[in-house]
Amino acid sequence: MSETNGFEPKIVAYVCNWCTYLGADLAGTNRLEYPPNVRIIRLPCTGRIDFNLVIKAFEMGADAVLVSGCHPGDCHYTAGNYHARRRWILFRELLDTLGIDMNRIHFAWISAAEGKKFQETITEITEKTRALGPYEAYRQLCEASS
Amino acid sequence: MSQTLSHEDLLKLVDGCLGQGKVVAGPTLVKPDLCAYAALRASDQLVLKDFIHPANSIKGFFFPRHEPICVYRLNGNDVELEDVDPPKTEQIIIGVRPCDAAALPILDHVFNWDYADKFYNERRENTTVVTLACTDYDDNCFCTSVGLGPAAEKGSDAMLLPLGDGGYEVRCFTDKGKALFEGKTTPSDKTGSASEGPARKIDVKWIEEALEDDYENPAWKTISLRCLGCGACAYNCPTCHCFDIVDEGDAAGGLRVKNWDSCQFGQFTVHASGHNPRANQGQRQRQRIQHKFRIYPEKFNEILCTGCGACTRNCPVALGVLNTLEALRAAAAPDTSEVG
Amino acid sequence: MTSDIQEQLRQTCRRLLEEEKVDVVIGYGQSTADGPAYPVFITAPQDVDRLVWNDRCFNNLTAYLTRDEVKSLGKPAIVVKGCDDRALVVLEQESQINRDEIVVIGVACEGVGEPRAAKCAACDVHMPRTADETLGEVPNGPADLEAAYAELDAFMAQSPEERMAYWRGEFERCVKCYACREVCPMCYCNRCIVDKNRPTVIDTSAHVKGNLAWHVTRAFHQAGRCVGCDECTRVCPAGINLRLLNLSLARAADKHFDYRAGMDKEAAPVIGAYREEDKEDFIL
């Protein structure tokens, strides 16, 4: 299966409480298996997700980051995900300019009813990241002394 | 009879030291148009002409901008501490301006005052400072106003004086300097030259008295109006030494570190209660000048300034110590309506 | 030309101060003709001859309008170049200034710096757009944004690894002096996020990790707000190419949302607002 000598990628998923978190829960109750590599961090809304959290995840050793929330129009707080979407569109450009590996940062809309989508998304991201290998470049950056 | 060294032989000396695993640093072009002191990877990076003063100072080689001093690990309710030892790597800094070298004996006092800072002292002991005498100066230089000059020997282990033909006269002052150049120089009857330096621009005795007599001088408010309160002056200054101690880590543990800090930052003197005794820029600028020209001299008999001009060159609004002192002097003149 | 503008500027400011229309003029001064120009604060009519106008007037003086020490001087008149004037628009959009309480004196600007600053090649605000009166006349062409973005395009042609290596080299030199923050008119927070320590969000340490976190944060907090005055880049003692970071976000705002900071007071801000029709192609 994998040629990466047992490397287990660390995936950090910042998810909103009302949609994606419940979607993950649904995957669980339906016994849909997904890789245990993901660390799920629950926030009230994607609108609260500060881009610093993405940077922090990479600083602390994440190999890939997922940010996921309610579909546009379904936000529990009406417009949080619209604000988030704006931020994501711009933030991706900044990350790209910095040379951050864009294959390691993912955004998704996963609703509370989409247990299957959660399973598929996590599985896909985990396998993609396993193939990419550990995110050495960012770790090396963090370990560089002044 | 003088001792001389060609530029090529100096570079060979640098390569030799690099080959021995020593840190060799000096002025270098960190960007095509920016000369700064930095560690060298090869001798051809060393720049010893076509600049007045590098953008920064050499204090980072003795008092780094970020230094771990202790490791801590959290184990339930227990905290395990582990000391960090200062590095013992030998350092040679070549091409140091005399104003930067002179800062080291000045800083020695405060780093050994109520506590002997092993991190600073270890680096001081393991570093050889080779100065490059100045053949020119600019409007920002005022070393001659604080008792120094283009060929000052203070803090220097050995000095290079340009010969005009690309080579240098070498004068060794200390054992470290002699050890570095032993057998590398050639006797000659040529002597290197240095500039006379700028004319004296300020009277430090007058400054010290004015600072003592008139602490509440209202001029501070206007003098400092354009100051933006960044750290560009303090961080590039060879004698500024304020630092902040912070813990950086996570739930498992981390590092206690010592980082540079600047008295010009708005939050520098904020108390835990929220009170800030230096709440405006006038008070903060006053403190900087007081510290350099009255408090440090009273304590250690040394002015905490070597007249290098780095503060003014780096200042976003061209302020800096010299301009501040001149503004203070102008404010004291009777028929002036100078404002910020 | 510039000496005419300088003379007009002095006369205008003398009149404003004599007629007590303003309490202070925030402008540029210079100690010697070949020295740097720097911000001055003129409160007496007889001091207006200290005001200068030349191609060394780099500072974006609008940064002073949100500072307590300057606000306490009273009603200001402020000298602005076109790029500085854009900052005024953003400050007004964000309710940081009361535009009616400021007299804005625009100066026609052909460009600053010798050699010309990089930002000047793409400038379309040689004539400040919202000044109460503008001194001098410089032809105003359309923005040559392609000229500005060319630098960014060349950079983005490199591989991600090369780009990251470049920024690592840049951020190794950062000493966290915050000159970039203090000189920026848009950085007016009383308590900057990097100064927070309960909890610490961004490491204050000047190591590459902490420097990257700081610059990413500041660049992103400027997304859609940075007017491209490039003062941050000019004042950085370590010569870090902040302009490139800011340019990438400015282009993103332009490309995705047709937005340029400080050009239209009525435009909805890029980060503060949203549209249901915002398009993207990367959300799974």
Tokens at residue B195, please? 């500039």
Whether C177 and B316 lie within 8 Å, measured CB to CB: no
Instruction: For residue B241, give every residue at least 6 positions away whose Cβ sits within 8 Å of its Cβ, in sequence order, or none.
Output: B59, B63, B107, B110, B111
Q: What total of structural domains would you count in chain B? A: 1
Neighbours of chain C (3+ CB pairs under 8 A): A, B
Cα gap A123→A33, rounded to integer Å: 9
pLDDT higher than threshold 90 for residue B265: yes
Cα gap C222→C204, rounded to integer Å: 20
pLDDT band at A146 (very low <50, low <70, confident <90, very high): very low
Q: In this predicted model, what pLDDT tens digit does every residue of A31-48 receive, in sequence order?
A: 999 999 999 999 999 999
pLDDT higher than threshold 60 for residue B339: no
Chain C positions touching B339 (Cβ under 8 A) are: 40-44, 47
Q: What are the start-end ranges of the E strands in C83-177?
A: 103-107, 133-135
Structural domain boundaries in chain C: 2-135, 145-257
Selected residue of B317, B323, B324, B335 to mutate for chain C interface (largest C Cβ count, 10 A)? B317
Cα gap C102→C272, rounded to integer Å: 25
Q: How far is CA B245 from CA B54, B261, B262, C204, in A?
A: 28, 9, 13, 10
Which residues form the domain of B79? 2-332
- Degrees to nearest 5, angle at CA C180 with C174 and C186: 145
Chain A positions touching C156 (Cβ under 8 A) are: 96-97
Q: In this predicted model, what pLDDT tens digit does every residue of B7-36 receive, in sequence order?
A: 999 999 999 999 999 999 999 999 999 999
Indicate the SS3 state at residue B76. Answer: coil
CA B44 to chain centre: 24
Cα gap B52→B80, rounded to integer Å: 49
CB C16 within 8 A of CB C77: yes
Q: Which residue of A has its CA nearest to C270?
A: A86
Chains A–B, number of C-beta pairs less than 8 Å apart: 5
Whether C205 and B257 lie within 8 Å, measured CB to CB: yes
Residue B195 is assigned to a structural domain of this protein: yes
Mean pLDDT of B243-249: 93
**Residue C153, phi then psi, degrees to nearest 5:** -60, -45
Asked if omega into B297 is within 30° of 0 (cis), the reply is: no
Q: In this predicted model, what pLDDT tens digit does every residue of C114-128 receive, in sequence order?
A: 999 999 988 999 999
SS (H, E, C) B10-29: HHHHHHHHHHCCCEEEEEEE
Q: In this predicted model, what pLDDT tens digit does every residue of A94-133 receive, in sequence order?
A: 999 999 999 999 999 999 999 999 999 999 999 999 999 9
Q: Which residue of A has its CA nearest to B39?
A: A146
Cα gap B323→B326, rounded to integer Å: 5
pLDDT band at A6 (very low <50, low <70, confident <90, very high): confident
Tokens at residue B109, please? 């006092």
Q: Does C158 touch chain B (CB under 8 A)?
A: no
Q: In this predicted model, what pLDDT tens digit does every residue of B101-111 receive, in sequence order?
A: 999 999 999 99
**Quick one: pLDDT at residue C146?**
83
Cα gap C83→B169, rounded to integer Å: 51
The ipTM (two decimal places) reads 0.94
pLDDT higher than threshold 60 for residue B244: yes
Chains A–C, number of C-beta pairs less than 8 Å apart: 124
Residue B339 is assigned to a structural domain of this protein: no
**A103: which DSSP letter?**
G
Residue B127 is assigned to a structural domain of this protein: yes
Q: Does A143 touch chain B (CB under 8 A)?
A: no
pLDDT higher than threshold 80 for residue A89: yes
Tens digit of each residue's pLDDT, chain C (284 residues): 678 999 999 999 999 999 999 999 999 999 998 899 999 999 999 999 999 999 999 999 999 999 999 999 999 999 999 999 999 999 999 999 999 999 999 999 999 999 999 999 889 999 999 999 999 999 887 877 887 888 899 999 999 999 999 999 999 999 999 999 999 999 999 989 999 888 888 989 999 999 999 999 999 999 999 999 999 999 999 999 999 999 999 999 999 999 999 999 999 999 989 999 898 889 99
Residue B44 is assigned to a structural domain of this protein: yes
Q: In this predicted model, what pLDDT tens digit does every residue of B60-96 receive, in sequence order?
A: 999 999 999 999 999 988 999 999 999 899 999 999 9
For strand B253-260 and strand B243-250, is the pairing parallel, antiparallel, or unpaired?
antiparallel
Cα gap A59→B43, rounded to integer Å: 35
What is the set of domains in chain A, with CATH numbers? 11-139 (3.40.50)
Cα gap A11→B12, rounded to integer Å: 51
